[in-house]
C-alpha cells in the first residue's frame, strides 16, 4: 500500500512526464522528414506530427501519357515520409515513456 508520500511522488512524476510529452509533441511539430521516389523525381516533406508540408515534383516526371506513374511516385514518396515521421515520433515519445506504448499518444 502506498503512503501519502508515495502517491504524491507518483503524481509528481506523472506531471513531469506529461510536461515532457507536451514538449516532445511541440518539437515534433517543428521537425521534418523527407522521402523521395523515382530517383528523386517526387519528394515529400512531412512534419514529425505526420502532416504533409510540401511535395516537389520534377517536371520530367510529368508525362501526360503516363499519369498513373506520377500518381504512384507521389503515393510512394508521401507514404515513406509518413512512415519515417511516425518512426521519429515513436522514438522521441519512447524516450519520455521509457518505451511503454501509450495508445493515442501521437
pLDDT value for 5? 64
Predicted confidence at residue 17, as pLDDT, reads 82
Q: Please report the pLDDT score of residue 6 as a whole number.
A: 73
Segments making up each domain of the chain, as ranges = 4-97
- Domain 4-97 in CATH 3.40.1130.10? The answer is no
* pLDDT value for 93: 83
Whether pTM exceeds 0.85: no
- The per-residue pLDDT for 2 is 53
* The residue to which cell 501519502 is assigned: 4
Is-contact 8 16, C-beta < 8 A?
Answer: no
**Distance, C-alpha 71 to centroid of its chain:** 23
Parts of the chain with a pLDDT under 70 = 1-5, 99-106
The per-residue pLDDT of the chain, averaged, comes to 87
Amino acid at each position: 500500500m502506498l503512503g501519502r508520500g508515495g502517491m504524491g511522488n507518483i503524481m509528481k512524476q506523472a506531471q513531469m512526464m506529461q510536461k515532457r510529452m507536451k514538449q516532445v509533441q511541440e518539437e515534433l511539430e517543428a521537425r521534418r522528414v523527407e522521402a523521395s521516389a523515382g530517383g528523386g523525381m517526387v519528394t515529400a516533406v512531412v512534419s514529425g506530427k505526420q502532416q504533409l508540408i510540401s511535395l516537389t515534383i520534377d517536371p520530367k516526371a510529368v508525362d501526360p501519357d503516363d499519369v498513373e506513374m506520377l500518381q504512384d511516385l507521389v503515393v510512394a514518396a508521401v507514404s515513406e515520409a509518413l512512415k519515417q515521421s511516425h518512426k521519429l515520433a515513436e522514438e522521441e515519445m519512447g524516450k519520455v515513456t521509457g518505451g511503454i506504448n501509450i495508445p493515442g499518444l501521437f
